[in-house]
Amino acid sequence: MPRENWKIYKKIKKLFKNKKVQMRVIGTNWNLASNSFHFFRLFEWINDSKLKSVDAKNINAWFSSKRKTYHEVDGSITAKLFNGSSCSLTSKKTIDNKKKYSVNLNSINNIVNYEEMTGKLKINNKNYIYKIPLLSNEINHYYKQFLHKKKIYLPKVKNEILSHKMILKELQFNWKKKFKRKNKLKIT
């Protein structure tokens, strides 16, 4: 389920209401290409603003993902929003292949560091633990809400198309530039 449904991100969004936000997601082996869509959507939602630009020129390497004929990247992808906020997503491929990353958000008044995989959360120098909700546990909740016709937040395709096109265009451009190929890029 989208991070926008997680209680912790709803709380974080309130901290950054009407603020210019710097967001960084940094770590190892977290599937940057495919997860960039999720993190950029989270970034847009926290800021109530849409992507203005995406830049994938700092992708260092392309490599095969666990799915045959699909690819992932090592390096960074950055984005800017129309409200002036900026985001940087960075992942390094390591030999041990351990997935690890943290989500960092900063504004004039607030600093958040959240290691989703471990649940370690720091908000303005106060430490918390917030384990990410497991889809297997969450799906029943959403199903019950759906059955009772309660409001469920899921992004609308028409609202996501432009952002996804922008991200895909930048990834495809980098792919063609690096490999001088015209074949289509496949990411999961």
Task: Give the 3-state DSSP-derived string for 74-105, with helices as H, strands as E and coil as C.
Answer: EEEEEEEECCCCEEEEEEECCCCCCCEEEEEE
Q: CA-CA distance, 78 to 54, in Å (whole number)?
A: 6
List of E strands, 93-148: 100-106, 111-115, 120-123, 126-129
Nearest of 153, 156, 173 to residue 53 by alpha carbon: 173
Q: Which residues contact 68 (CB under 8 A, 6 or more apart)?
A: none
Residue 158's pLDDT is 82
Check whether 94 has a pLDDT greater than 90: yes
Structure tokens at 69: 């004929």
Q: CA-CA distance, 167 to 50, in Å (whole number)?
A: 12
Mean pLDDT, the chain, as a whole number? 90
| pLDDT greater at residue 14 or residue 138 | 14
pLDDT band (50, 70, 90) for residue 149? confident
| pLDDT greater at residue 130 or residue 180 | 130
**Going by DSSP bridges, is the β-strand pair 59-64/86-92 parallel, antiparallel, or unpaired?**
unpaired
61-74: burial string, b at 16+ Cβ within 10 Å, e else: ebeebeeeeebbbb
Residue 80's pLDDT is 98
The neighbour count for residue 32, using CB atoms within 10 Å, is 26
Query: Largest alpha-carbon pair distance within the chain?
Result: 52
Domains and CATH numbers, the chain: 3-177 (3.30.360.10)
pLDDT band (50, 70, 90) for residue 146? confident
Single-letter amino acid code for the residue at 120: K
pLDDT digits (tens, 9 = 90+) for 29-68: 999 999 999 999 999 999 999 999 999 999 999 998 888 8
Check whether 70 has a pLDDT greater than 70: yes
Check whether 181 has a pLDDT greater than 80: no
Q: CA-CA distance, 66 to 73, in Å (whole number)?
A: 12
**Going by DSSP bridges, is the β-strand pair 86-92/22-28 parallel, antiparallel, or unpaired?**
parallel
